[in-house]
Structure 1
Amino acid sequence: MNIALESPEMLLLIIPVIIAGFYLLRKTKTKLVEWRMLVAFLLVLALAAPYTTVTQTINEEDPSLVLVQDMTTSMGLFPEDTGTGLYEALTADTPTTLVQLTGEKTSLGDAVVQYSGLGNQIVLVTDGNNNAGKDLTEALRFAKDANTPVYLVQPELETNDLSVEMLGDKTVVVDNQNEFDIVVRQASEQSVSYFLEVYVDGEISQSRQFSQDTRNNTISINQAFTTLGAHNLSVKITPSDEDFNKSNNEFYKSLYVIPKPKITLVTADSSSPLASILRNLYEVSVVNDYSGAGNITESKALVLDNQIIGNFSEAEMKEIKNYVSNGGGLIVVGGDKAYNYGKYLNSSLEDVLPVISKPSEFQGGRNLVLVLDISPSTAAHGTLGDILSNAISILRNDNLKDANVGVIAFGSVGYDVSGGFLYMGLPQNLALLEDKISQLTPSEESETSLDQGLAVTKEMLEGEDGELDAIIISDGGIEDSYDASLEAAKELQDMGVNLYFVHIRSSAPSQADQTRTLYAEKLMQELGLQNNYKHIDMGERANIEFEDTVVTPEDEEDEPEDLGTYLLLEYSPDHFITKSVNLTSTSITGYNQVTPKAGAERLVITVTGQPVLTTWRFGLGRVAAFSTDNGDGATRWASAVYNGSNSRLISGMANWAIANPQAEEGAVVEALDTWLGTPSDLTLIMYDEGIPQLKLDGTQIDLALTGRNTYEASVNPDEIGIHNISGYPLAVNYPLEYRDVGLNNDINPLILATGGEIYTEKEARAFLLKDARQNSEREATEPVSLKVYVLLAALVLYLGEVLVRRIREMRRLKQAQGETGAEEAA
């Protein structure tokens, strides 16, 4: 028992008690003083208010629910009264608060955050599309941290709707081919067809018929502009079938065309694929030696191609460092004279780079299989949601970011859910596995045959190298297949597989009766893996600590060696550089040995985990370390990177390093295209002397000074179309509410992670309240005051002392009376 004090400062009163006590002891030297001192001590302790804490299990028969009913305009695709009947059913049985969202903006995230952590459970009746306020993903994570289950009720789609959007850069360079993505979304997954038209500056450029049977379809187009200034693109679709809303069938995109930005390329190979790509895109000054580069501050970016450190003086290194610190871009391309081969280690240049020029230690070599129990007992006893949520939680373990993971499910048979191993270094693979796991449903067969799941696990892990792990997540009802499962587990042990068992405690008879054998625990005991057995309650998450699997490459040599062929992976596919790049099946035959610094971001790696493109910010500038070659010369490591669509990696890298391609002269305006009802933030930078003023469609804009020569304003045009800001274009499109149509299934794993469930409206009426009551069972720690017990002890001591003293006095009185009587008798 842990005891604490509410007012520990009251213990200071013991000091005068001690002083007074010792004084009286010296004066009287009686036991009475000692008793009274002890009583005083207890009274002071009572004033300090001692207390302890106890843990109690709280079970709410009538849990408090908050039903958030999405009635925004995008919900017109679903029945009008979606959620109304559910609310009436719930409020008749348990306290239920109704929150209705209306209008042309959906702020689900705000509602989740507002009602989380208050003893509530939240029910969302919505399509799941959030377009205002708090990000829904962050809100659901907040709810999870606040131990607030969130349930999702998905309405039934009544009609289909199509929307169109065009993606791409707004600021583009003259005479360059620019790629734009046209995204056509539909609410359902039926086969639809539509006629698509693309307009350039109001004139039709191309048109054709399309069909799709998926939710999203991306159509890429290329367009170059030969004149500077404002231009625009627009796209229009005409669906052949049902289409609920016509306003989201047309989309406008404004563009501002600028001169080619200047960059400086330092290279001994002016005809390399790298040099050719840069020349096509920018105004490039090519020099053989940095000393001939002139004033590099006139360039938006500096590219050092396969340069040995001896080619630079310390004064030149200082100049480069200042250039980047003040906002210049730097790209350092590798080769047989760069990085570990160019003596960069501990040099002045390395201070600016996001990497250290020595072999990289990287996590990798782990192959993990999640073996998930989806037998009917998991649904009957309510553990399926916990099994799936624990699997998703394990996938997000930071030490698995460089692992290969496979997922197997079993009932009476085992089967491969993931389709083999997927590399967790790619966010899209993590999202894919989470989606597949969240959609698992109980098998129809009644048996729980763990041995069948382990047999498929063995097939998946056979022939794999490195760390081999398998995690079983089950409710533990494996008694019928225990012997076969034990043999299958021993076979995996013989292969060197590390086995874990996450046993989720349920209401099953085999677990409710404490005298019965827990077969899951027995299995791990017989394998000698008791430490790998995790017995947790429903709603809890297993904490499995994975040791780092670190592979250290051989020390670098003085000369490049044949490293074989390595596939490239987009480690951060959502970065500006990689978001439009698809490196599938792209290989390099060599690379420089580098190690990313703390704070650097790996964007492209080899399948073995070696960094190939690493970036970071240095001062006001941006630096990219491209640790393979220019595609030519003696090494020819990366020729494939510079071919076809792969060359987007090079242009993306250069555009990122350049940052702002506009010349720093005159007045520069920036404002992103927007949606009707959503303001656009506008920035004006005055590089030359003059009076800052801008007009929106002829009306003066109020500007606020926010920095040196920098002015900002917020504009919110009330009409769809292309608007004019003193010659700078701004496109306003249909309200954002109409872009995302149909059900958003991306949030399903996050819903399950909170401890909630996903239902149709019919399923919600049958199961939601039952699940909410089950989730209301929680352990609460409450303080219990010990003050009354201390006061009672002080009272007992005091009364005891009085009683003892009184008895002694009565004895002395009787003795005195006896002596007096004897004298009288004598």
Structure 2
Amino acid sequence: MASIADMINAISTGSFTFNKPEILLLIIPAIIILMLILPKSFVAIDKRRLNNPRFIKYRRGYRILLFITRSIIFALLLLALADPFGQVEKEIPGDLTLTLLIDNSTSMELFDTSFVPTLRAELEKRIPVKVSHISTPLESDIGDGMLNNLEKNKNILLISDGQATSGTNLLDVLLFAASLNSSVSATSLSPIHDDISVSIKGPSKTIAEVENFYKVKINRVMLEGTPTQSVRLLVGVDDEIVVDETTTKEEYFFSYNFSDGYHRIVARAVPTSAEHDYFPNNNVFYKTTHVIPKPKVLFVTESTSALKQVLDELYEVTQVMDLPTKKKDLEDYYAVVLNDLPKTRLKDIEELSDFVIEGNGLFVVGGYNSFDNGGYKGTAFESILPVQVGTGDIKKGDSNIVIVIDISGSFTEKGVTTTALSTSKALAYDVIGKINEKNSVGVVAFDQWPYMVADLEPLYVSKAQTLDKIERLQGQGGQTEFAAGLKGAFNLLRGKTGSKNIIFISDGFTWNDLLRQEALDVAKAMKGYGIKLYTIGTGRNLDEKFLRQLTTTGGGIYFTADTSNRLKILFGEAQKKEVGTAFSLFVIDPYHFITEDLEVDAVLYGYNQVVPKANGHLLATSDSGEPAVVVWRHGIGRVATLTVFSSGNNLGELLDRKNSKIITRIVNWAIGDPERKNDFFVDIQDARVNKSAEIVVRTKKFPKVQGLQFSKIDKNTYRAYYVNEDTGFKSVLGAVYGVNYDKEYQNLGFSEELETLVAATNGKVFDPAMVDEIVEHVKSVSRRVIRERTSFRNIFIIAALVLLVLEIVYRRVRETWFRQHL
């Protein structure tokens, strides 16, 4: 039963509320009815008393007192009917059982694990202990092993190097453990053997005559206190030695230009002594790079352009002045680039449209002769593009924006200095500060239910009140149901005119796939209603992959907490710049193929007057918000527009070596798969020994290879799986691939990330001899402080009953006194 102290605590923390607040509206009518009823007498009174002034005086005071007590009683009963509740913190004793998880994988042979029996015996003297073995010699599925042993409010001590090679991602498992209030700690490990492994990272597919960059990773495990062991590193490319160096480096970089075909790359790490190399089978690594011919690109331009020089480096470019009018003249090309062409040069657009719909690419470059300057408005060609000619409202004053804030359990964790909720409230503050006050803004919070924090109103009317309501927002600690928040926002936006947008602030974390799918379904449905979903990822349990997927489904843009300032371009009051005024580019979506990790510092002076279409994906703008790069899909093909340029009607600094990446990425994106037009190709990746790998073949005839069983997966496309029992270079159907040692032997040594990962569950990394510290830690984290939803209805009912009893006692005493004295 809830206590008054619990209710006072809930009120002080701001979690006190009513499940049926509408009942509170009955209090005033109840008081009015009492005022009308109490003056009336329903029992006959002795007339002699009515003529007694003292009786009249006492009777008036009695009725006033009765009115006050009855009003309070009715108010208390109505408060109880309104179902008051709040979040109450309670400390509960935890389960001190500690589960020892022991990693049995082969990589553990490098470490001293002789302490395990002693550690187990010492721990069993003080706390209950369970032991479980995880992983197999060549399968370090540490995450799966932990999942099989995770329980709510339990403790795990992991004896492992933390080098997972398969199974569930270790970070995801530890975040799930945190959501269960389970603590995972680990023991440090001391090496007893030295070892060296080598591996190569670099492109598996590239085009001819382009510089390709590779990284050779040398992984060392050394006895404590010994100096870094030098090794002789040999790197060969197609039987040519390109690196021969004795080094103590952990990483070595080199570059190479290739001709067409398959190329073999081998890295070998030779230790100074066999005694310093426990596993001899991980000293050689095989990698292949398949070099394909340059994709054919059609470049249509009226005049000579420096853009062609950039394109010539990566593609086989054909330059023409007019767009071909026959479909057969386009068939050999993977993409068409139109360089600042007026509509008079764009005839027979139907053939170009079919070319794109069938899976090819189109890149339209703007300038003084195209888009608004080229008569595109209202033409058939404009229907292919992701933009339309026109000017947007730079003040963005017709937007309806609902900010959705996650207040679920993962956002209101205890035991951390700053909760994700406080960070998200600060983000919401910052977002509102960037939004033009002529826009209408509402706020919704959610856990398993949506809560309307602020109704949708023009920001210039409600800004102060909205910020105050966000500041007072408290987490309820409930389950995370993203769909509930999205539905709450939809209810605010439904029926509104103007653009409709949701800014969703959450960590995106849940272990329930059904909740993820429900949110994706709601986002897809809202997109059909013209609602765009923007997400801001924040929190310790951040699931960025899901939030990006949610954003893509909702047709918006994903932002990290430190890039949310980009919202100002979308919803702020940017200062419009005239053509001829210098401006820079601003990446809006940094997670698209074209803009990921892209740095552009070009200064430009011109732009075309265009606005993105509803399904157009805005990737970059000018610093004043004018669209710069917009893309979309047309059929199964890809269309991109670049509508900013420099003086003199050229791309200016965008053609510099650093900035031209944006041009080549746009073309690469438009091209898509550079082998899709081939009648025959084999797609096969480098593999691991004794592990199943996939081979995909496109051919007009059913492929036949001894030992492989192909199945048809698409028109003229077949798939098979294969296993190799030894390392080295292999070939099938003319394709070359490398087979390497088992992944168990690659990433060796105690994981540097493990300490950070276990900290997410309030865990630590202990020396095996620190038995006392381990026991004290288990006792400390086992004491759980939980937040429970507690009803306070009984307090109000009891208070009403007590007051009623006191009133009855008072009436009895009064009647007795009246009979004796009046």
Give the TM-score, by structure 1 length. Answer: 0.57
1:707 aligned to 2:750? no
* 2:581–2:606 CA contact under 8 A, matched in 1: no
Judged with a 3 Å threshold, the aligned counterparts in structure 2 of structure 1 residues 323 and 700 are, in CA distance, closer, same or farther, namely same
Given the alignment, which residue of 311, 329, 340 partners 2:361? 329
Code of the residue aligned with 1:710 in structure 2: it is T
Partner of 1:692: 703
Q: How does 1:213-612 map to 2 (within 5 A)?
A: 217-225=251-259, 228-239=260-271, 242-272=276-306, 274-291=307-324, 295-308=329-342, 311-312=345-346, 316=349, 318-337=350-369, 386-387=416-417, 550-555=571-576, 557=578, 560-564=579-583, 572=590, 583=599, 586-590=601-605, 592=607
Judged with a 3 Å threshold, the aligned counterparts in structure 2 of structure 1 residues 722 and 268 are, in CA distance, closer, same or farther, namely same
Judged with a 3 Å threshold, the aligned counterparts in structure 2 of structure 1 residues 783 and 282 are, in CA distance, closer, same or farther, namely same
Q: How many residues are matched?
A: 566
Partner of 1:672: 685
Code of the residue aligned with 1:110 in structure 2: it is D
Given the alignment, which residue of 106, 112, 116 partners 1:79? 112
Partner of 1:197: 234
Code of the residue aligned with 1:281 in structure 2: it is L
Q: Give the RMSD, CA atoms, in angstroms.
A: 5.0
* 1:389–1:752 CA contact under 8 A, matched in 2: no
**TM-superposition CA deviations, 1:672-720 (whole Å, max 9, x none):** 112223321111122x3x23223xxxx3310112222221111121111
> Which blocks of at least 5 consecutive residues in structure 1 are unaligned?
5-49, 364-382, 405-466, 472-537, 787-826
Q: How does 1:766-805 map to 2 (within 5 A)?
A: 766-767=773-774, 769-771=776-778, 773-779=780-786, 781=788
* 1:179–1:221 CA contact under 8 A, matched in 2: yes
Judged with a 3 Å threshold, the aligned counterparts in structure 2 of structure 1 residues 345 and 121 are, in CA distance, closer, same or farther, namely farther
CA deviation after TM superposition for structure 1 residue 736, in Å: 1.6
Judged with a 3 Å threshold, the aligned counterparts in structure 2 of structure 1 residues 556 and 56 are, in CA distance, closer, same or farther, namely closer
Partner of 1:150: 184
Judged with a 3 Å threshold, the aligned counterparts in structure 2 of structure 1 residues 258 and 564 are, in CA distance, closer, same or farther, namely closer
CA deviation after TM superposition for structure 1 residue 762, in Å: 5.0
Three-state SS of the structure 2 residue aligned to 1:561 is coil
Identity of aligned residues (%): 23
Judged with a 3 Å threshold, the aligned counterparts in structure 2 of structure 1 residues 79 and 244 are, in CA distance, closer, same or farther, namely same
1:207 aligned to 2:244? yes
**C-alpha distance in 2 between matches for 1:618 and 1:772:** 61
* 1:163–1:738 CA contact under 8 A, matched in 2: yes
Judged with a 3 Å threshold, the aligned counterparts in structure 2 of structure 1 residues 135 and 54 are, in CA distance, closer, same or farther, namely closer
* 1:392–1:753 CA contact under 8 A, matched in 2: no
1:620 aligned to 2:636? yes
Judged with a 3 Å threshold, the aligned counterparts in structure 2 of structure 1 residues 738 and 87 are, in CA distance, closer, same or farther, namely same
* 2:628–2:643 CA contact under 8 A, matched in 1: yes
**C-alpha distance in 1 between matches for 2:246 and 2:687:** 28
**C-alpha distance in 1 between matches for 2:196 and 2:138:** 17
CA deviation after TM superposition for structure 1 residue 730, in Å: 1.7
Three-state SS of the structure 1 residue aligned to 2:313 is helix
Judged with a 3 Å threshold, the aligned counterparts in structure 2 of structure 1 residues 244 and 324 are, in CA distance, closer, same or farther, namely farther
**C-alpha distance in 2 between matches for 1:109 and 1:124:** 11
Judged with a 3 Å threshold, the aligned counterparts in structure 2 of structure 1 residues 597 and 197 are, in CA distance, closer, same or farther, namely farther
Given the alignment, which residue of 729, 738, 741 partners 1:722? 729
**C-alpha distance in 2 between matches for 1:181 and 1:596:** 40
Partner of 2:747: 740
**TM-superposition CA deviations, 1:371-415 (whole Å, max 9, x none):** xxxxxxxxxxxx9962277599769969989999xxxxxxxxxxx
CA deviation after TM superposition for structure 1 residue 257, in Å: 3.4
CA deviation after TM superposition for structure 1 residue 725, in Å: 0.8
* 2:361–2:670 CA contact under 8 A, matched in 1: yes
**TM-superposition CA deviations, 1:198-241 (whole Å, max 9, x none):** 222233244334443xxx5251311212xx44332222233558
Three-state SS of the structure 2 residue aligned to 1:654 is helix
Name whichever of 601-610 and 100-109 sits farther off.
601-610
Partner of 1:98: 131
Three-state SS of the structure 2 residue aligned to 1:387 is coil
Three-state SS of the structure 1 residue aligned to 2:416 is helix
**C-alpha distance in 2 between matches for 1:392 and 1:54:** 17
* 1:591–1:612 CA contact under 8 A, matched in 2: no
1:66 aligned to 2:99? yes
1:661 aligned to 2:674? yes
**C-alpha distance in 2 between matches for 1:612 and 1:82:** 62
CA deviation after TM superposition for structure 1 residue 622, in Å: 3.5
Code of the residue aligned with 2:604 in structure 1: it is T
Judged with a 3 Å threshold, the aligned counterparts in structure 2 of structure 1 residues 705 and 264 are, in CA distance, closer, same or farther, namely same
* 1:703–1:711 CA contact under 8 A, matched in 2: yes
* 2:607–2:626 CA contact under 8 A, matched in 1: no
**TM-superposition CA deviations, 1:484-525 (whole Å, max 9, x none):** xxxxxxxxxxxxxxxxxxxxxxxxxxxxxxxxxxxxxxxxxx
Judged with a 3 Å threshold, the aligned counterparts in structure 2 of structure 1 residues 591 and 652 are, in CA distance, closer, same or farther, namely same
Judged with a 3 Å threshold, the aligned counterparts in structure 2 of structure 1 residues 362 and 261 are, in CA distance, closer, same or farther, namely farther
Three-state SS of the structure 2 residue aligned to 1:706 is strand
Code of the residue aligned with 1:562 in structure 2: it is T
* 2:93–2:782 CA contact under 8 A, matched in 1: no
Judged with a 3 Å threshold, the aligned counterparts in structure 2 of structure 1 residues 739 and 385 are, in CA distance, closer, same or farther, namely farther
Judged with a 3 Å threshold, the aligned counterparts in structure 2 of structure 1 residues 66 and 619 are, in CA distance, closer, same or farther, namely farther
Judged with a 3 Å threshold, the aligned counterparts in structure 2 of structure 1 residues 652 and 206 are, in CA distance, closer, same or farther, namely farther
* 2:107–2:745 CA contact under 8 A, matched in 1: yes
* 2:141–2:167 CA contact under 8 A, matched in 1: yes
Give the TM-score, by structure 2 length. Answer: 0.57
**C-alpha distance in 1 between matches for 2:311 and 2:769:** 59
Partner of 1:121: 155
**C-alpha distance in 1 between matches for 2:280 and 2:426:** 41
**C-alpha distance in 1 between matches for 2:330 and 2:150:** 54
Three-state SS of the structure 2 residue aligned to 1:297 is coil
* 1:117–1:148 CA contact under 8 A, matched in 2: yes
**C-alpha distance in 2 between matches for 1:664 and 1:586:** 36
Q: How does 1:29-40 map to 2 (within 5 A)?
A: none
* 2:590–2:598 CA contact under 8 A, matched in 1: no
Code of the residue aligned with 1:662 in structure 2: it is E
Partner of 1:419: none
**C-alpha distance in 2 between matches for 1:112 and 1:598:** 46
